[in-house]
Amino acid sequence: MVMTPPQSGMMAPAMAQEPMQEPMQTPQQPMQAPMEQSMGLNISGEEFTKVLNTLDQSDIEALDTHLTPVIKNTITKLLGAEVGAILKNLGPDEPTVNIPVSVIASSFPADTIDQSIEMMKTDIASKSKNIPSPPQGGLGGEPMKDSPQTDVPPMLMA
């Protein structure tokens, strides 16, 4: 069996097997400033509208439910300002709270998830009518008028 040095033979890197040559000289090019790239894909408004028009009604309803201002802003960064302008009229104009259906189903047990959701809606609606108004005059109401004010600090009773 013949022993070969570690950096030679079949397992040696390609550079080690070839004789050393002068590195090729490349003409020096002046450094160029990196081109300013847009953050997103910049899809045209026309292309996006075409694709948007292929969606069915349930897709549009999903966008209209979940396309919050934060999501619209993120999509605008990804796909460009023209797409953002098109999405402006879709979705709610305020943040929303998404609750997993498993949480609703465990809190409002029913035969179907739709029944659980209806129970939750009814529960929330019933509570929103019975919210007491805040007290008038601060946290504890108006100050007592018939108790005299004193300049004596309270004493600790032992």
Read off the pLDDT of residues 22-62 as tens digits, 9 standing for 90 and up. Answer: 445 544 544 444 433 446 777 888 999 999 999 999 999 99
In one-letter notation, the amino acid at residue 76 is T
Asked whether the beta carbons of 66 and 91 are under 8 A apart, the reply is: yes
Neighbours of 124 (CB within 10 A): 9
83 and 114 together in one domain: no
Specify if 75 maps to a domain: yes
The answer on pLDDT for 156 being more than 90 is no
SS3 state of residue 25: coil
Task: Give dist(CA 97, CA 74) in Å, integer.
Answer: 18
Whether residue 116 sits in one domain with residue 90: no
Contacts 24+ apart (CB under 8 A), 14-20: none
Domain count, the chain: 2
Per-residue pLDDT, 126: 87
Domain match, 92 and 105 both: no
| pTM given for the model | 0.48
Sign of CA dihedral 77, 78, 83, 89: negative
Question: Which residue in this structure is represented by tokens 């999509």?
Answer: 75
Q: What percent of the chain has pLDDT over 90?
A: 43
pLDDT value of position 83: 92
Residue 24 lies in a domain: no
Residues contacting 152, CB < 8 A, separation 6+: none
pLDDT tens digits, one per residue of 75-86:
999 999 999 999
Domain that holds residue 123: 97-127
Instruction: Kindly state whether residues 84 and 109 are assigned to the same domain.
Output: no
